[in-house]
Each structure stands twice: as structure tokens, then as C-alpha cells.
Structure 1
Amino acid sequence: MTRLFVAVFPSEEAREHLRHRLRPVPARRSEKWHVTLVFLGDVPDDAAVVRALSETPPPAPFSLRLSGGGRFGPVVWAGLEGDVPALHTCQAAVRSSLATVGFPSDPRPFRPHLTVSYRFDRRLAAALTGYTGPPWTIEEFSLVSSVDGEYHRLWTG
């Protein structure tokens, strides 16, 4: 079984900008920073997921930027601004495509964010206060597997 999720990834410029803002406070590795659209968990057949996603139209290009932050318990996250309604539309399309082939997703409302750290640190929270990063363009989403804490993009469209 493979733990799968569908996500969009900030540009390298956006990740580097945030990484610079957070230095020298420990945070998650920036190459793992993403915005989860749908978390699927353990999936026995990722080929079926790829087929469903390949039939989902890619989003029309839209722009986001990392902005501010907050926390869920010990989790520290960066918020988003820009064309967030387009991100919601993209997430709904992915979720719908996956549901039609039997992959239901979390029924909770979509609250887009980028997890910076799974361990609360006041310095991270302070660094995110008032933060606004550079915009980046979303034109695709990716199916990602998580194996032993490493991420592998299985499909992008």
C-alpha cells in the first residue's frame, strides 16, 4: 500500500523566499512544502487514481502567494492569498474525479495551507507574522506518494 495525496507545489522562488524568512529556525525540508488538495491515504492501486486524475482537466493558470500563518495544535502553517477561489475550484474538480471512481476524500471543508513544521516553535510563528511571499502560477497538480517520509511525484497534469 502506498500513501497518496494530490497537491500543488510552490515555485522554487516562493520556497526559497520563505526558507530565507524562516532562517535559522528549524522547519520542514522546503522541497516537501506543498498545498494538499486531496489526501487519499493508503491506496492499493495507484493506477486507478492516475486514470481518474488524467481525465481531470488541468486548472486554468492562476496565481497564489504564501502569506501569514497560523497553527493547528503543534503544526505551524503558512497561509495563502491570491486567486484562492481558483484553488478551491481545482480542489473540487480533483475531489469529484476521484469520487466518481470510488476514492472518497476527507469530507471536512478545504482549508488550503502549507505546513511549515509539525512542531510548534514561537520563532516560526513570529517569522510568519506579516509575511508575504512572491506570487507563483499554478497550472498543474501532482499525485504524490509518501514512503518513509520521502515524497515521490507519480503523476503531474
Structure 2
Amino acid sequence: MPALAALREVLPSRSRLTPVENWHLTLVFLGSVGDAGPVAALLGDVPSPGPFELRLSGGGQFRTAAWAGVRGDLRRLGELRDGVRDALTLGGYPSDDRPFHPHLTVSYRPDDDLRRALAGHEGDPWPVTEFTLVSSSDGRYERLASWPL
């Protein structure tokens, strides 16, 4: 995705980043689920807010995690997130009640140069046209299913 490549280009080369192929925006984190089939069935019924645009902009650090901020149509992103969370909760997969702060984690190492580069980044917008169910195991991410918006 061009937005991720553009972000990678402005980050210090010596920074210890998470693998770019793992960069993602988490809508809802479920933890260990086992069989993903029932989760996928629930997500297939999530109402679509329609396509929208986001951009990576700014960033910060929380404890040791450095992250890129997200701007754009956060209202529609929030609608999508709420729809996913509601469907999962009604299906017996509750998630935490923390406020939703969309971000892209790029490193788990404290790094002042990285933090400054993120703070000054203003990426181009990209179209959000789908959402995806992803499984993670031992640092590897696997796309299980996707749904168009």
C-alpha cells in the first residue's frame, strides 16, 4: 500500500521497526478465539458505512510503543469499528470498553528520532474499501476473510 511505503520512507533507517507486512489498524482485538468460523460469520453481517478515506498523520509513543496517528473520515471508521464490536459482542465475543484511538504501531522500542519522524509525518489519503479478519500467531499475521464496504 503506498501510504505504508511513504511512511516507511520517512522513518529513520536505524530504527527497530515491526515488520511492515504486519502494519495494520486494529478495530477490535479478540485474543485467543480457536475456530474463527463463527467470528467470520458474525462479521459478514456488519453494516457497511460505505467506502471512506484515511491518512497517516502525526504520531507518538505510549510506553515503549511508537505509533503513527490516523486522520480522515474518523466518523465512518468509528461506525465500522462500532459495528464490528457490536456484532462480536452479540455473538458472545466481548471486547474491552477502552475508547477507540486508531493508530498504526510501528515499533516497540523507545526511539526519540523515530518519535520525531512520526510527529512530522503527513501522509496522503488512501481509500478504505474493506475490512479484514486477521489471525496472529508467533508474530505472523494471516488474513482469514475480508468484507467490502
TM-score exceeds 0.5: yes
Give the counterpart letter for 1:13 in structure 2. P
1:28-67 aligned at under 5 Å gives the runs 28-67=18-57
Say whether residues 1:84 and 2:51 are aligned partners. no
Structure 2: 5+ residue stretches without partners: none
Alignment match, 1:4: none
1:59 is displaced (CA, Å) by 3.5
- Percentage identity across paired residues of the two chains: 49
Say whether residues 1:95 and 2:85 are aligned partners. yes
2:110 to 99, 120, 125: 120
1:107 is displaced (CA, Å) by 1.1
For 1:57 and 1:155, the matched residues in 2 are separated by 16
Alignment match, 1:16: 5
For 1:139 and 1:17, the matched residues in 2 are separated by 20
- Would the aligned equivalents of 1:70 and 1:76 in 2 still touch at CA under 8 Å? yes
1:16-44 CA deviation, whole Å, 9 max, x = no partner?
Answer: 00010114123111111111000000002
Q: When the two structures are superposed, what TM-score results if normalisation uses the length of structure 1?
A: 0.89
Alignment match, 2:142: 152
1:57 is displaced (CA, Å) by 2.9
Runs of 4+ in 1 over 4 A off after TM superposition: none
For 2:5 and 2:99, the matched residues in 1 are separated by 29
Structure 1: 5+ residue stretches without partners: 1-11
1:145 is displaced (CA, Å) by 0.4
Give the counterpart letter for 2:7 in structure 1. L
For 2:104 and 2:50, the matched residues in 1 are separated by 21
For 1:32 and 1:59, the matched residues in 2 are separated by 25
Aligned length: 146
- Would the aligned equivalents of 1:62 and 1:138 in 2 still touch at CA under 8 Å? yes
User: Which structure dedicates a bigger proportion of its chain to strand?
Assistant: 1
RMSD value, Cα: 1.0
Alignment match, 1:3: none
Say whether residues 1:106 and 2:81 are aligned partners. no
Q: When the two structures are superposed, what TM-score results if normalisation uses the length of structure 2?
A: 0.94
1:90 is displaced (CA, Å) by 0.6
- Would the aligned equivalents of 1:76 and 1:124 in 2 still touch at CA under 8 Å? yes
